[in-house]
């Protein structure tokens, strides 16, 4: 199944395509048609399952152009970080659409937000406390809300937002679509549903589950992109072991860049596959890989699902996908039909949070191994890499990262620290 099957507009499809998002996740497959039909939905799904797009795609699909000032869609989330994240997702999806989006949260100047509300928006993303304060000023009216999303409902109630939520719900027009998402169905979530919603369709996404038993998974801490390239070349140098390899990368740009590097060491042994390559080219590459004319494919997630190539010896995750499910899809390219398979993931400090979600999804965890000493460290950062301060470096369940990059303000050069335990102060994307 692809996003094309949901009958979406071209601008929306193009925006998804640009993000290399082609096949829907489990929750998206189930929720998008139901939400598009206008029904009320309760989705039980965690972060990393693609739940945000599960509600954003059908909302944007049905959102007509309007220049009215008061918002028509309201998305409530528990934290300021989530407001920012949801706004970013909407902005990426509406690159080719005319949709006004506004995010409001507490702890910042309310007057600036009042001004923005006055200027008008179609979609308002908010934390409940600040939203209620804005309603009280009289500047924000909720009578035009047609769709309400309560995201991370369990967390919202855990944080004590029930009174604000109830006050907000009382002010909403009765004729509206309700969409609620929660990682767990707690008693409080259940009680809220009982009191405020009726005829809601429940969509529950069971965990993707454990990956195939026969896949040997390893995880390596690597300080940065350039060292990942060195490590990859080091691994691929062993042609006996790395016989048939899928290398997965998050973006087309990186796929091309990595392919160019690999080509220098192993000319004509690897192909690059991503959505900017023509369908014919992609098929040819996969065929050549299938028939062992190519030793490997460097690909984005466009080929992480469905593709069945026999006897893939290794899946190398050059980076760690944001979507935990995607990891399971990627590694499922090896160990097919009871063959033994292996997967190696290269992790920078900034990707630890994604790894944590993957372990949670698989309901298991693995040690993160230090980079083998024979791999050359390259301290140079690429343009997209943000220097990570030693104090912000995340740790994984007590396990610290050996390599943490810091950029001293004076020279702007990268330093590498090894063997230090950085302070546990993970900068969380989510809570």
Of the ranges 50-58, 103-111, 142-150, 252-260, which one interacts with ligand AMP (CB under 6 A)?
Answer: 50-58
Does 51 contact ligand AMP by CB under 6 A?
yes
Does 394 contact ligand AMP by CB under 6 A?
no
Does 360 contact ligand AMP by CB under 6 A?
no
Query: Minimum distance between the CB of residue 33 and ligand AMP, rounded to whole angstroms?
Result: 15
Does 182 contact ligand AMP by CB under 6 A?
no
Does 48 contact ligand AMP by CB under 6 A?
yes
Site size with ligand AMP, rule: CB under 6 A? 16
Does 24 contact ligand AMP by CB under 6 A?
yes
Of the ranges 41-49, 108-116, 217-225, 286-294, which one interacts with ligand AMP (CB under 6 A)?
Answer: 41-49
Does 179 contact ligand AMP by CB under 6 A?
no
Query: Minimum distance between the CB of residue 245 and ligand AMP, rounded to whole angstroms?
Result: 22
Nearer of residues 47 and 224 to ligand AMP, judged by Cβ: 47
- Residue 398 Cα distances to 137, 180, 372, 423, angstroms: 46, 34, 21, 11
Nearer of residues 55 and 161 to ligand AMP, judged by Cβ: 55
Does 227 contact ligand AMP by CB under 6 A?
no
Nearer of residues 24 and 129 to ligand AMP, judged by Cβ: 24
Does 317 contact ligand AMP by CB under 6 A?
no
Does 400 contact ligand AMP by CB under 6 A?
no
Nearer of residues 81 and 385 to ligand AMP, judged by Cβ: 81
Query: Minimum distance between the CB of residue 374 and ligand AMP, rounded to whole angstroms?
Result: 34
Among 42, 44, 52, 302, binds ligand AMP (CB under 6 A): 52
Among 30, 31, 40, 49, binds ligand AMP (CB under 6 A): 49
Does 21 contact ligand AMP by CB under 6 A?
yes
Q: Per-residue contact track with ligand AMP, 291 to 310, x per CB under 6 A?
A: ----------x---------
Query: Minimum distance between the CB of residue 57 and ligand AMP, rounded to whole angstroms?
Result: 9
Site for ligand AMP in 321-340 (CB under 6 A): 322-323, 326
Query: Minimum distance between the CB of residue 27 and ligand AMP, rounded to whole angstroms?
Result: 8
Among 8, 13, 35, 53, binds ligand AMP (CB under 6 A): 53
- Which residues, including other chains, have CB under 8 Å from residue 289's CB and lie 6 or more apart? 244, 271, 296, 297, 309
Secondary structure (H, E, C), the chain = CCHHHHCCCHHHHHHHHHCCCCCCCHHHHHHHHHHHCCCCEEEECCCCCCHHHHHHHHHHHHCCCCCCCCCCEEEECCCHHHHHHHHHHHHHHCCCCCCCEEEECCCCCHHHHHHHHHHCCCEEEECHHHHHHHHHCCCCCCCCCCEEEECCHHHHHHCCCHHHHHHHHHHCCCCCEEEEEECCCCHHHHHHHHHHCCCCEEEECCCCCCCCCCEEEEEEECCCHHHHHHHHHHHHCCCCCCCCEEEECCCHHHHHHHHHHHHHHCCCCEEEECCCCCHHHHHHHHHHHHCCCCCEEEECHHHCCCCCCCCCCEEEECCCCCCHHHHHHHHCCCCHHHCCEEEEEEECHHHHHHHHHHHHHHCCCCCEEECCCCCCCCCCCCCCCCCCCCCCCCCECCECCCCEEECCCCCCCCEEECCCCCCCCCCCCCC
Task: Note the residue count of the chain.
Answer: 431
Query: Minimum distance between the CB of residue 46 and ligand AMP, rounded to whole angstroms?
Result: 7
Footprint of ligand AMP on this chain (CB under 6 A)?
A: 21, 23-25, 28, 47-53, 301, 322-323, 326
């Amino acid at each position: 199944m692809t996003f094309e099957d949901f009958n979406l507009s071209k601008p929306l499809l193009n925006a998804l395509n640009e993000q290399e998002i082609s096949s829907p996740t489990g929750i998206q497959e189930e929720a998008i048609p139901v939400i598009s039909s206008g029904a009320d939905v309760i989705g039980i799904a965690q972060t990393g399952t693609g739940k945000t797009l599960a509600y954003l795609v059908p909302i944007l699909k049905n959102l007509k152009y309007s220049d009215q000032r008061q918002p028509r869609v309201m998305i409530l989330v528990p934290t300021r970080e989530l407001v920012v994240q949801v706004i970013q997702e909407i902005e990426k999806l509406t690159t080719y659409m005319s949709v006004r989006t506004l995010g409001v949260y507490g702890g910042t100047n309310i007057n600036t937000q009042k001004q923005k509300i006055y200027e008008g928006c179609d979609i308002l993303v908010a934390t409940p406390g600040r939203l209620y304060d804005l309603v009280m000023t009289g500047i924000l009216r909720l009578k035009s809300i047609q769709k309400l999303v309560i995201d991370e409902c369990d967390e919202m109630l855990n944080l004590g937002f029930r009174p604000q939520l109830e006050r907000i719900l009382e002010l909403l027009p009765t004729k509206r679509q309700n969409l609620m998402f929660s990682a767990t169905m707690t008693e409080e979530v259940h009680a809220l549903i009982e009191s405020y919603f009726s005829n809601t369709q429940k969509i529950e996404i069971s965990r993707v589950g454990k990956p195939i038993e026969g896949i040997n998974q390893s995880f390596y801490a690597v300080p940065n992109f350039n060292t990942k390239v060195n490590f990859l070349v080091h691994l691929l140098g062993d042609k006996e072991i790395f016989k048939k390899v899928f290398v997965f990368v998050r973006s087309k740009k990186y796929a091309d860049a990595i392919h160019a590097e690999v080509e220098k060491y192993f000319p004509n042994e690897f192909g690059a596959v991503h959505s900017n390559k023509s369908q014919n080219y992609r098929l040819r590459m996969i065929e050549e890989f299938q028939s062992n004319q190519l030793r490997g494919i460097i690909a984005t997630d466009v080929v992480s699902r469905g593709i069945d190539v026999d006897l893939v010896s290794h899946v190398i995750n050059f980076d760690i996908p944001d979507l935990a499910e995607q990891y399971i899809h990627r590694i499922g390219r090896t160990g097919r039909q009871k063959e033994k398979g292996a997967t190696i993931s290269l992790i920078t400090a900034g990707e630890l949070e994604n790894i944590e979600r993957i372990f949670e999804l698989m309901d298991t965890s693995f040690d993160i191994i230090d980079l083998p000493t024979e791999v050359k460290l390259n301290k140079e950062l690429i343009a997209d890499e943000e220097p990570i301060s030693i104090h912000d470096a995340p740790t994984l369940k007590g396990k610290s990262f050996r390599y943490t990059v810091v950029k001293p303000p004076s020279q702007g050069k990268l330093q590498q620290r090894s063997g230090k335990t950085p302070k546990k102060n993970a900068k969380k994307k989510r809570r």
